[in-house]
Amino acid sequence: MFSLNEKCAVVGVYDVPEAAKYAYFSLFSMQHRGQEAAGICSSDGERLHLVKNRGLVTQVFDKAKLKKLTGDAAVGHTRYSTAGDDSILDAQPIFARYDLGQIAVVHNGNLTNSKEVRRELIREGAIFQTFMDTENLIHLIAKSQKEHLYDRIIDAVKRIEGAYSLLFLSRKKMFAIRDPHGFRPLSIAKLGDGYVVASETCAFDLIGATYLRDIKPGEMVVFEKGKEPRSIQVFEPTPHKCIFEFIYFARPDSYIFGKSVYKLRKNMGRELAREFPVDADMVVPVPDSGVAAALGYAEESGIPFELGIIRNHYVGRTFIEPTQEIRDLKVKMKLNPISELIKGKRLIVIDDSIVRGTTSKKIVQILKDAGAKEVHMRISSPPTTGPCYYGVDTPEEKELISARMSTPEIKEYIGADSLAYLSIEGLIRSVGNDQSYCKACFDGNYIVPNKNG
């Protein structure tokens, strides 16, 4: 089986004393992007040091492990869970020795031609240790005949296709690069005399780094001691940034692609209220994913916002569980309505997306069981009709309820009194009428073909 490098978080810290500590806190703030495994590789200028394991950031690292990660440069990663291959081998950073020395790489995204590249590399004699597409990069770099790592990275990325926000660490330097479409985010900040590069800006807030800018689509930034970071536009930028970061994935306190996630989520709620108003007594978010959009909906409609459903925060995301029975149970473990508040009331319930339909169905059921008179589901994104090949962990098409059923059929399936989704046009208006986003999961426009089959 080929395990894809799903939605993850990456961080790089350069020229900052105790870099691994800052990488650790950065990863902690981006834990929502991947809960399966975590790792950090540091450089003391002579050697690279690696710690990675399965588990949450706080489980993988303790004082003793962080102490091992000496040096003033580090790269780190948290990995998102997929069914199946979750062995320690598939944790990142990936570390390797090659003719130029030692190297570590972390990757957020998903390569769409990884199978063909791997097949070719194997034919030429390469031996792989993991199922990760990211390992291809190490081989491509090792194979390149160029004298400098910098040129080898360029050789390697020219061979790969798809979504990648990558960080490479060598003994002396760090390299950050984003694919020409800029599918996945990657931002730079200043910390003391050094720099931090991270998937989300919430990492900078935690460690007190000052946001400078985003790495541009197709741009590589080289960090070297005693020099200003050097920027090279490796590819002509053709922006196609993931709109789902705004809808669901990123933390609301982050700026993604230079925009406030919270603000855009509220805009989506406002648009939704304008497109699909309904007479009701209160607006209730599905916590936490629907909160910002529900606030926007309530503000726009003038209908009071109430926290009618309470979430137990000690339960992981339900989406990632492999079997249907466990998913059902976990929704009940996670969400509980306040009956006192909702009994006899007409509710507008807001969530960010419906994927398989499990969550919405359960929510309608628990609200009705608790005495709600009417439940009107409003979703702050369009129907998810296609999988993501660019790094978001969506299930296969056959599992996506909107790929199989019409909105009226889904309404019946989940048992709601009405159901409506934000339109694609409404979504685009919410993000500032900007057309440079990838929304393939909603409109099927896959700009980079998936060659992995």
Can you read off the two tokens belonging to residue 250?
């990123």
Q: In terms of CB distance, is 278 or 320 closer to ligand AMP?
A: 320
Among 101, 237, 357, 371, the residue binding ligand AMP under the rule CB under 6 A is 357
We find the least distance from the C-beta atom of residue 210 to ligand AMP, in angstroms, to be 30
**Binding to ligand AMP by residue 316, rule CB under 6 A?**
no
- Residue pair 349/305 in contact by the 8 Å Cβ criterion: no
Segment near ligand AMP (CB under 6 A), from 67-75, 143-151, 235-243, 347-355? 347-355
Per-residue x/- track, 206-245, ligand AMP (CB under 6 A): ----------------------------------------
Q: Judged by CB under 6 A, does residue 317 bind ligand AMP?
A: yes
Shortest approach of ligand AMP to residue 134 CB, angstroms? 20
CA distances to 277, 308, 347, 351 from 415, in Å: 19, 18, 14, 15
Q: How many binding residues for ligand AMP (CB under 6 A)?
A: 18
Q: Give me the DSSP letters along 392-409.
A: -----GGG-HHHHS-HHH
Of 154-193, binders to ligand AMP (CB under 6 A) are: none
Under the binding rule (CB under 6 A), the answer on residue 300 touching ligand AMP is: no
Inter-residue contact 421 to 382 (CB < 8 Å):
yes
**Position 393 contacts ligand AMP (CB under 6 A):** yes
Pairing of strands 73-79, 9-14: antiparallel
Residue from 51, 355, 375, 448 touching ligand AMP (CB under 6 A): that is 355
**Choice from 102, 136, 267, 394 touching ligand AMP (CB under 6 A):** 394
Query: Is 41 a known active-site residue?
Result: no
The nearer residue to ligand AMP, 26 or 289, going by C-beta atoms, is 289
Choice between 254 and 360, CB closer to ligand AMP: 360
User: In this structure, what token pair is assigned to residue 133?
Assistant: 């597409």
**Residues of span 257-286 touching ligand AMP by CB under 6 A:** 286
The interface region with ligand AMP, picked from 49-57, 63-71, 210-218, 386-394 by CB under 6 A, is: 386-394
Q: How far apart are CA 261 and CA 282, in angstroms?
A: 24
Kindly state the smallest distance separating residue 331's Cβ from ligand AMP, in Å: 7
Cα 336 from chain centroid?
27
Least separation in angstroms between residue 416's CB and ligand AMP is 13
Shortest distance in whole angstroms from residue 275 CB to ligand AMP: 20
Cβ 392 to ligand AMP shortest distance, Å: 5
SS3 43: strand
The full DSSP string for 228-283 is PPEEEE-S-----EETHIIIIIS-TTSEETTEEHHHHHHHHHHHHHHHS----SEE
CB 361, min distance to ligand AMP, A: 8
Residue 150 or 248 having the CB closest to ligand AMP = 248
Shortest distance (Å) from residue 19 CB to ligand AMP: 30
**Which of 106, 25, 24, 17 has the alpha carbon at shortest distance from 70?**
17
Stretch that binds ligand AMP, among 55-63, 172-180, 356-364, 404-412 (CB under 6 A): 356-364
Cβ proximity to ligand AMP, 218 vs 287, nearer residue: 287
- If the CB atoms of residues 165 and 394 are measured against ligand AMP, the closer one turns out to be 394
**Is residue 101 left, alpha or beta, with left meaning phi > 0 and alpha meaning psi from -120 to 50?**
left
Which 3 state secondary structure label does DSSP give 314?
Answer: coil
Taking Cα atoms as reference points, which of 400, 403, 404, 407 lies closest to residue 379?
A: 407
Q: Which amino acid is at 51?
A: V
Cα–Cα distance, 442 to 387 (Å, whole number):
9
CA dihedral (278, 280, 286, 287) in degrees, to 10, reads 130
Determine the Cα–Cα distance for residues 446 and 212; give it in Å rounded to an integer.
31
CB-based contact 391:441 (threshold 8 Å): no
DSSP conformation class of 151: H
* Strand 173-178 with 346-351, pairing: unpaired
State the DSSP code for 211. E
Single-letter amino acid, residue 291: V
Helices (H), 160-247: 202-207, 244
| Active-site residue, selected from the candidate residues 8, 41, 242, 388 | 8
Q: Which region, judged by CB under 6 A, interacts with ligand AMP, from 141-149, 190-198, 293-301, 392-400?
A: 392-400
Q: Which of 351, 390, 419, 427 binds ligand AMP (CB under 6 A)?
A: 351
Residue labelled with tokens 């969506």: 394
Which amino acid, one-letter code, is at 155?
D
Measured from the CB of residue 248, what is the shortest distance to ligand AMP in angstroms?
5
Q: Which of 81, 82, 130, 359 binds ligand AMP (CB under 6 A)?
A: 359
Q: Does 311 bind ligand AMP (CB under 6 A)?
A: no
Q: Please identify every residue annotated as catalytic.
A: 8
Per CB under 6 A, residues contacting ligand AMP are 248, 286, 289, 317, 319, 351-360, 392-394
